A and B are shown apart, each in its own frame.
Chain A
Amino acid sequence: MAILALAALSIGLSAVAIRRDRPLCWRFALPDPLSVNGKGRFSTVLDHRPEAGQAHAPAIVPREDGFSVLWFQGSAEAQPDVDIWGVDLQRHGDTWLASKPAPHLTRAGLGRAMAPHQLVVTLGNTIAHDGRPGHLLATVVSVGGWAMAAIADVAMARGGPVNARKLDLSPILNRSFLVKSPMLGYEDGSHALPAYFEMGPTFGALVRFDEAGCVRDRRWMRSRRAKAIQPMIVALDARRALAFLRDFDRSDTLWLSRTEDGGQGWSAPEPTGQYNPSAPVAALALGEGRILMAANDDAGAPDALVLSVSEDEGATWREVHRLTGPGALRYPMLRRVGDEIVLVHSTGGKHGIATHVFDAAWLAER
């Protein structure tokens, strides 16, 4: 009798859950075409080199009055003195002015904001949560190394984090999912998170959220031939998108997965033949099948960061600009900020952060 009563209660609970659930939209939002009426400018607006230690994995956080750049900084990657640092950039006339680099998200502050309260011993790649303005998605480790990382949704205020919770992504103590690339939008205004799993088997993933910002679904980009991680997704139209993936092993090539149903299913990643020294790439849809990519794709100069444009949905690429030294330029991110494009990357082999701003006219000239 008691079990039958529980079953009846369950049916009632299911009715509430099913009625509340909104089907996910699986049509990508496409950005407006970039205006080519700019002044043909390319300017380096930040070249941050800390006196000691590392600064790496920069991300762009668009704001109403400009943008912020966040990165992790400390004695070395995954060390317990690493915090998320940042600068705010604002346009003043023809120039962008950067604030002084300062800690933005600390381990101690994040630990206090965590619900439920828990230790945060290491911070890593952190990106903007496009679906929840004022929030960040941070890679956090409470126990162990990167394979034990989780992704935290962090609500930020002027003084630092005010609330944070780990995304529910894995039954293995909720471990081993990380972020790197920016989110992508859907037609209904929702956003999806490209993420990757790094415990033993490695693969890319696309994470969807419900209206409350909780994880509602996840889809995979798995390969038996490569440890494909850090998916960088570019929508080609409402249903088709490309995911460029780094091979965690050194196959020395960039990998590519495709979707033709809005991200519900992804093909097994295949090698593109494009050189890649096991480093993530950044890409940006320019519209009409054109894609801008920032990648370390020159086998003869793997430390150089090459900006390339594809006019045919990623089939072929044409170099438009090359950034070199000091040291290896890695971990690029590209984002549109107004009518301009922002490129960030680390410099000097994880020892600095550079930020460049350019417009479509500059690209068109090349």
Chain B
Amino acid sequence: MEWTGLAIVLGWAGFALASLWIGSAGASAAGGTVAALVPLLRRSIPVAGAMALLSPVGVMLPALALRDMAAAWGLPVMPFGTFEISVFLAAYAAFIASAMGLVPVDLYRLGYAPGAVAAMVLMVCAYGLAAGSLFLPLVAVAGQALWVARLGSSNWLDHVLHAALVPVAVVTLVLRVV
């Protein structure tokens, strides 16, 4: 699963770079080529280094990559609101601070506990229902399925969050302001 996730993320990177110069069709072909090469080159230094850097890849990053490519192809995708992204950034900063011991509460610990995970996933589903968005519930439940199947991290939060989301969210906010 980790290799599938990494292939999608690196494929998206190839797609995004190619999009700067060529259209969606050509960029998709470039991204697809990169994604196809990832499992073949997994013992090479660049790909093994990318895995070392990004692992555990989780569900959220590949899901966002697929979503972005789907939007580029003109499929209906409901964008995140600026307020929504801002709240996520603030909450994620607090989460990282708690994981680094800067506050007395360790939120990351909750991701190991089945009862806490059950509550968190249902809260995400409730948010998705209220916001009319399928994306976040889909990611949360897909992450829970992998977590229960013991594929990837033993912490559910690793499946649905990733440190790389911080630069992604910041760049998105900056582009909206600029």
Q: Are A172 and B163 in contact (CB under 8 A)?
A: yes
Given A11-B118, A220-B106, does the pair A172, B134 have CB atoms closer than 8 Å? no
B49, B102, B148 pick with most chain A CB within 10 angstroms: B148
* Cβ contacts A1-28/B at 8 Å (1 or 0 each): 0111011011101101110110000000
Selected interface stretch from B22-30, B109-117, B170-178: B109-117
Q: Are A119 and B45 in contact (CB under 8 A)?
A: yes
Given A118-B55, A142-B53, A174-B55, does the pair A6, B137 have CB atoms closer than 8 Å? yes
Question: Please, which residues of chain B bring their CB within 8 A of the CB of A166?
Answer: 55
Selected contact of B51 from candidates A117, A200, A216, CB within 8 Å = A117
Selected interface stretch from A87-95, A207-215, A246-254: A207-215
Q: Are A173 and B118 in contact (CB under 8 A)?
A: no
Q: Are B108 and A171 in contact (CB under 8 A)?
A: yes
A220 CA to B121 CA in the complex, in Å?
26
Q: Are B157 and A220 in contact (CB under 8 A)?
A: no
Q: Are B48 and A14 in contact (CB under 8 A)?
A: no
Selected contact of A201 from candidates B43, B52, B53, B101, CB within 8 Å = B101
Selected contact of A118 from candidates B52, B115, B154, B155, CB within 8 Å = B52
29 CB-based A-B contacts, threshold 8 Å: A2-B134, A4-B129, A6-B125, A6-B140, A7-B129, A10-B121, A10-B122, A10-B125, A14-B115, A14-B121, A14-B144, A111-B48, A118-B52, A118-B55, A142-B53, A166-B55, A168-B153, A168-B154, A171-B96, A171-B99, A171-B158, A171-B163, A173-B53, A174-B153, A199-B100, A201-B102, A203-B101, A214-B150, A218-B112
Selected contact of A10 from candidates B53, B56, B141, B158, CB within 8 Å = B141
Q: Is the interface of B mostly helix, strand, loop or mixed?
A: helix
Given A13-B145, A172-B99, A199-B100, does the pair A142, B52 have CB atoms closer than 8 Å? yes
Given A111-B48, A216-B112, does the pair A171, B95 have CB atoms closer than 8 Å? yes
Selected contact of B48 from candidates A119, A203, A218, CB within 8 Å = A119
Selected contact of B137 from candidates A7, A168, A212, CB within 8 Å = A7
Q: Are B52 and A119 in contact (CB under 8 A)?
A: yes
Is B69's CB within 8 Å of the partner chain A?
no
* Cβ contacts A301-338/B at 8 Å (1 or 0 each): 00000000000000000000000000000000000000
Measured between C-beta atoms, what is the minimum distance from B124 to chain A in Å? Answer: 9
Selected contact of A14 from candidates B3, B52, B106, B117, CB within 8 Å = B117
Is B68's CB within 8 Å of the partner chain A?
no
Is B66's CB within 8 Å of the partner chain A?
no
Is A222's CB within 8 Å of the partner chain B?
yes
A203 CA to B99 CA in the complex, in Å?
11
Measured between C-beta atoms, what is the minimum distance from B174 to chain A in Å? Answer: 22
Measured between C-beta atoms, what is the minimum distance from B164 to chain A in Å? Answer: 8
Q: Are B48 and A201 in contact (CB under 8 A)?
A: no
A208: nearest chain-B partner, CB-CB: B112
What are the 9 A-B residue pairs with the smallest beta carbon separation, nearest first?
A: A142-B52, A14-B118, A214-B154, A17-B114, A118-B52, A168-B153, A7-B125, A118-B51, A116-B2
